[in-house]
Amino acid sequence: MDSGVPAVQSLVENGTAHVPQRFVRPIHDRPSKFSSPDLDDIPVINASQLSDKIELQKLDNACREWGFFQLTDHGIPRALMQSARGVIREFFRLPQEEKESYTASSTKLRREGYGRYFLPSKDTVLDWGDVFFHALPPVALPWPVHPAEYKETIQAYGAQVRSLALKLLAALSRALGQPPELFGDAFGPDAHSSLRMNYYPPCPEPDLVLGLSPHSDGVGITILLQDEVEGLQIRKNGEWKPVKSMPDAFVVNIGDILEVMSNGIYKSVEHRATVSSGNARMSAAFFFSPGFEAVLKPLVPDEKPLFRELTFREFITAYMGNALNGKQHLEYAKL
Ligand SMILES: O=C(O)CCC(=O)C(=O)O
Ligand SMILES: [Fe+2]
């Protein structure tokens, strides 16, 4: 793999009793630090009630205070969510060699494929997780041929989650007191979707590692499918708060682009994934973003803009070129 270190799954299959040094986090960055299970859980929003003022108000509050919420009653069939989880798990179960035939073909703009991401230097600490990432449909890769249902399932899943993302953008525009098309129009006709599939094998020393480094998402909005194993944590008041697994719900979070477009009213919040010694975990983040040439800027009138104008291409090129490091990259867009 790109870092010269094998995939986490192969390390685990070879029976590693200790975590290799490249994965060991500095002490201040370990999962036991500042974990706060006692904070409130993230808000739960009912997607079928968003025409109702009270639910819209709850959504507004969730995006201002948390940047994260669980979304229930979203209309995506449970069976489709289950099939998506199923084909993703099966993809990660393929022989290592077959997965590695889908390693990233690299462009400055976007990398796609199976492999490690966000590794600007050989000193970057590695995450205890394997990743398969591609646009929907894949652009730089062929569709995986195994499992046989991968393409059909992920296409159907991607199309339904994309419509949900558009509905959410309209609701967020309304929640800010703006016309429903505000964000959708700003994302433009070339708005694009991608899927980042994360597989976190069990770890012999889970307290020393993270499955995914702290980051905010450099996208418009993220709609996350989790399984029943918990691991996602979000940063709230300087502490890390675990997010519960609600198998029929999606975890939705505001990405950096909506933070820019809402002029900081809605927050893209830092999050990370922890791992456990007992269970493997999977998640799949559906990212929805503006077209590459779309101009990003604050869209809320009557406010002093906090961010400068830049294209999504400019933003994502800077984001992909660095290590995942909290929200540092958003400084790049600040005035
Ligand atoms: O695995 C998770 O729960 C988090 C995934 C995530 O944050 C991402 O893929 O951007
Ligand atoms: Fe994320």
Q: Where are the beta strands (DSSP E) in the chain?
A: 44-46, 68-72, 105-106, 111-115, 130-135, 192-200, 212-215, 221-226, 232-236, 239-242, 250-254, 271-273, 281-289, 295-296, 310-311
8-35: average pLDDT:
89
Which carries the bigger pLDDT value, residue 139 or residue 118? 139
275 lines ligand 1 (CB under 6 A): no
Using CA atoms, how far apart are residues 27 and 47, in angstroms rounded to an integer?
40
Asked whether the predicted pLDDT for residue 110 surpasses 70, the reply is no
Given this model, what pLDDT does residue 328 score?
74
In terms of phi and psi (left: phi > 0; alpha: psi -120 to 50; beta: otherwise), the region of 213 is beta
Strand order across the 111-115 sheet: 44-46, 68-72, 250-254, 221-226, 281-289, 192-200, 130-135, 111-115, 105-106
Question: Any idea what the CATH number is for the domain that residue 197 is in?
Answer: 2.60.120.330
Given this model, what pLDDT does residue 32 score?
80
Distance 46 CA to ligand 1 centre (A): 22
**DSSP character for 323?**
-
Distance 310 CA to ligand 1 centre (A): 26
Distance 89 CA to ligand 2 centre (A): 19
Structural domain boundaries, residue 255: 8-333
233 lines ligand 1 (CB under 6 A): no
Cβ atoms of 258 and 315 closer than 8 Å? no
Cβ atoms of 130 and 119 closer than 8 Å? no
**DSSP character for 49?**
G
| 231 band by pLDDT with thresholds 50, 70 and 90 | very high
Ligand 1 atom with least separation from CA of 129 = 1
Residue 310 covered by a domain: yes
Ligand 1 atom with least separation from CA of 217 = 10
Average pLDDT, rounded, for the chain: 92
Residue 105 covered by a domain: yes
Residue 3 covered by a domain: no
Cβ atoms of 260 and 297 closer than 8 Å? yes
Using CA atoms, how far apart are residues 55 and 216, in angstroms rounded to an integer?
25
- Give the length of the chain: 335
| 299 band by pLDDT with thresholds 50, 70 and 90 | very high
Given this model, what pLDDT does residue 320 score?
76
Provide the number of structural domains found in the chain: 1
Residue 212 covered by a domain: yes
Residue 2 covered by a domain: no
Q: pLDDT tens for residues 65-102? A: 999 999 999 999 999 999 999 999 999 999 999 999 99
Residue 66 covered by a domain: yes
What DSSP assignment string belongs to 185-237? HHH-TT-EEEEEEEEE---SSGGG--SEEEE--SSSEEEEEE-SS--EEEEET
| 34 band by pLDDT with thresholds 50, 70 and 90 | low
Q: pLDDT tens for residues 170-194? A: 999 999 999 999 999 999 999 999 9
Nearest-CA neighbor of 23 among 123, 127, 122?
Answer: 127
Given this model, what pLDDT does residue 107 score?
55
Q: Which of 271, 272, 281, 324 to mutate to test the pocket of ligand 1 (most atoms within 8 A of CB)?
A: 271
196 lines ligand 1 (CB under 6 A): yes
| 301 band by pLDDT with thresholds 50, 70 and 90 | confident
232 lines ligand 1 (CB under 6 A): yes
Among protein residues, the one with the nearest Cα to ligand 1's atom 9 is 285
306-315: average pLDDT:
94
| 139 band by pLDDT with thresholds 50, 70 and 90 | confident
Structure tokens at 122: 């050989």
217 lines ligand 1 (CB under 6 A): yes
| 37 band by pLDDT with thresholds 50, 70 and 90 | low
Q: Which amino acid is at 160?
A: Q
Residue 87 covered by a domain: yes
Task: Tell whether ipTM is more than 0.90.
Answer: yes
Nearest ligand, measured from the Cα of 269: 2
Residue 325 covered by a domain: yes
52-58: average pLDDT:
98
Among protein residues, the one with the nearest Cα to ligand 1's atom 6 is 285
285 lines ligand 1 (CB under 6 A): yes
Ligand 1 atom with least separation from CA of 200 = 1
By three-state DSSP, how is residue 134 classified?
strand
Q: Which of 199, 212, 251, 253 to mutate to test the pocket of ligand 1 (most atoms within 8 A of CB)?
A: 212
What residue has token string 């979304």? 71
Asked whether the predicted pLDDT for residue 109 surpasses 60, the reply is no
